[in-house]
Amino acid sequence: MPALHEIQRDFSRYLLGGAPDRVAAAILHDRLEPARRAQVYRNHLRISLTEALAATFPVVARLVGPDYFAAAVRRYVAAHPPRQPVLAEYGEDFPAFVETLPNAPAYLGDVARMEWAINLSLHAPDVAALDADSLRGAPLQGMHLMPHPASRLLVSAYPVHGIWAANQPGADGAVDLVEGGVALLIWRRGADTMFRTLEKPEHRFIAALFAGAELNRAAGLALQSDPLFDLARALAALLAEPIFRNPSA
């Protein structure tokens, strides 16, 4: 009789598509044959992971169709099995994986990245956000603004926000790819995930802040893109939403 850790190893391999022989030999025979009992567990795993990824990437699933998506998930699970118990945390490598799929749209990976960013934002820790009152009277020199755990930036060569919106329930799926690329700021407001497009100077400003640059340095980078960049207006708009973390909370 093999050791327990060997049975667990063989069972894990079987669940991900391995042969059933070694697993079946370790299962007691009762009303259900060992091979069929093992198959029940493999089917349940596939269904559970397919449903979990479909919940995280619903637009990707709609774009490629249910059969294609299910087949892609089977390949993905075999190559990238879950390594954590929370299914909402599963799928980090999925955007890069879908870019390797045959006949997949060129923008599919970035759509998946947007959905993953939304998922991360939705499940991020709920910490206090920085607002304008917290900064009143504070010196700007040397100031760092830390991103809130639910805040994300996404840059794509495609209008992924339009593709995402066009594939929500009730939408017609039509989008004009001629719109070109986009930079998005994604954050959470209450229980809802929000996003908006960014012009180049504001994107450079926020990206620098998120990377740890001082406020004055980030503003300088934005002004290099557009000498008319309005720092006060941009900062006020950002502080009106929970974009940054309150370091004193």
Q: Are strands 152-156 and 192-197 parallel, antiparallel or unpaired?
A: unpaired
Residue 181's contacts (CB-CB under 8 Å, 6 or more residues apart) are 155, 156, 157, 158, 159
pLDDT confidence of 16, banded at 50, 70, 90?
Answer: low
State yes or no: pLDDT of 185 exceeds 60.
yes
Amino acid identity of residue 93, one-letter, is D
pLDDT at 142: 82
212 backbone dihedrals φ, ψ, rounded to 5°: 105, 5
Q: How far apart are CA 160 and CA 107, in angstroms?
A: 7
| pLDDT tens per residue across span 59-94 | 999 999 999 999 999 899 888 888 877 888 899 999
Cite the DSSP H helix spans in the chain.
4-15, 21-25, 34-56, 58-64, 66-79, 94-98, 108-123, 132-135, 160-166, 200-210, 215-225, 231-239
Residue 7: C-alpha distances to residues 13, 25, 36, 130 (Å): 10, 10, 17, 51
User: Helix, strand or coil for residue 184?
Assistant: strand
Q: Nearest to residue 241, comparing CAs of 124, 147, 137?
A: 147
